[in-house]
Structure 1
Amino acid sequence: MSSEIADTVAEAVTAVPGVASLHAGMFGEVGTYLPGRRVVGVRVMESSTDVHVCIFADAAVRETALRIRQAISGLISGPVNVTVEDVVGRPHNA
Structure 2
Amino acid sequence: MLPPSQRCKDQTTKEPTGPFKRDHLLKYLEDQAKSEKDWEDVVPFSPGIKRGKVWEGDSGRNSAEGDTRDSGVAGMEMPIELDLDDE
TM-score relative to the length of structure 1: 0.20
TM-score by length of 2: 0.21
The structure, 1 or 2, with the larger RCO (C-alpha pairs under 8 Å, 6+ apart) is 1
Higher strand proportion (structure 1 or 2): 1
